[in-house]
Amino acid sequence: MSSINEICKTVVDEVDDALAAGVVDLNTGLLLGVHHNVPYFTQSYLDAVAAAAVDMFRGKGISNVEKRLSQTRGEEVSNSMMEIHMSTPKTNHFMSVIPGKPNALAVLITGKKANLGMGWSGLRGALPDMAAHCPS
């Protein structure tokens, strides 16, 4: 069985213009696994990206919206963000909560030359393998 780092490497190798792939624990913000091919992606940089991803899925702003939705709907709404695509001037970021692992987030970062469909396909295709290495 492959390690989570090896699975991330496979995603990076198989998606054209991929720069990095990783899995983040949404409870702690810790990287569970990562692979990248960018020299300036230092550990502190990767940790900052992981923290930003956690904030997008579980941060105060999202929690406030979910609290208001809960009040309006009369039912609990929490951890409702499942996938996000974000772009910067030079990159695309694909993020997906791993099915069956609500506290694990898979992230793929590509350059702008990457086909968006292939980015999603590469990330989503790896989710079952990643899930096997994530805590429940």
136 within domain boundaries:
no
Number of domains the chain is built from: 1
pLDDT of residue 128: 97
Q: E strands of 3-135, at which residues?
A: 18-25, 31-36, 83-87, 91-98, 101-111
Indicate if the pLDDT at residue 105 is higher than 90.
yes
13 or 136, greater pLDDT: 13
pTM beyond 0.85: yes
User: How do 101-111 and 18-25 pair as beta strands?
Assistant: antiparallel
- Domain residues for the domain of 94 are 4-131
- C-alpha–C-alpha distance, residues 96 and 122, integer Å: 12
Question: Is residue 28 situated within a structural domain?
Answer: yes
CATH number at residue 109: 3.30.450.30
For residue 1, pLDDT over 70 is answered with no
